[in-house]
Amino acid sequence: MNGKGYTNVPLKEGWSMYKEKETTTVGSVRAGAKVGTEQVKPKEGSRGVKAFTLPISVPPSKGVLLVNDKMCGGCSSCVFACTLYNDGVAAPSISRIQVDNIRFEEWDATAKPCLQCVEPLCMRYCPTNSIKVDGKTGARIIDEKACIGCQECIKHCPYDPPRIRYDEVKKKAVKCNLCDGDPQCVKSCPFGALTYYTDPDGVKTGYMGEGTQL
């Protein structure tokens, strides 16, 4: 956690993490909130799934969700707001933002949203090219019709927990689409712990790619 209360997102155990440069400030959000430039090396072995040409070249997202863990109460209001808006049901298992306040042995009540990575591994390893960049928000979104439910995107997300969920009913992957630029999780948070930060030139956050200079 940095000095401003915003958490530098932990990576999955066993992944190498290093920084190419000092933490990048993305704007004066809540007294200087920062988004880290943590980088990791991709896992070895993708079960035979062929990745696209590396590195991926896509425009950065124009927005990202920031979480102040000093203010987050772990109430899960964001979780229910997410699925009620996107799916019409209250279903934490498919929420695009996650709060682990159920397993007491691994208690971590801080909300964890998708970071809309600069170099999205979910997009790289999708065998059907079903993950696209939204023209309005820059969010990395899933084309439900093209998704075959293979879960390769979930396996290759470098963050823990993976920011992509699997809908057991639809047999499809689901991820944050920034609610078309009006994130319901932000609006529902009773503590003001969530911020939707935007920049028309793009926000550099999440996985940046091995050896990438930003």
Please provide the DSSP assignment of 37-104 as one string.
Answer: --EEPPPS--TTPPPPSSS---PPPSEEEEEBTTT-----HHHHHHHHHHTSS--GGG-SSEEE-S-G
Q: What is the pLDDT of residues 156-167, one digit of tens each?
A: 999 989 999 999
**End-to-end Cα, the chain, rounded Å:** 22
Residue-wise pLDDT tens digits, 4-58: 444 445 555 544 332 333 333 233 233 333 343 333 344 444 444 454 555 568 9
Q: How far apart are CA 187 and CA 192, in angstroms?
A: 8
161 cis-preceded (ω within 30 degrees of 0): yes
Q: So where are the chain's domains?
A: 17-41+53-198
pTM of the model: 0.74
Of 99, 93, 139, 136, which is closest to residue 116 (Cα–Cα)? 139
Task: Say if residues 61 and 123 touch (Cβ distance below 8 Å).
Answer: no
151 Cβ contact list (under 8 Å, min separation 6): 166, 173
CA–CA dist 8, 2 (Å, integer): 7
| CATH architecture assignment, domain 17-41+53-198 | 2-Layer Sandwich (3.30)
At residue 42, the pLDDT reads 41
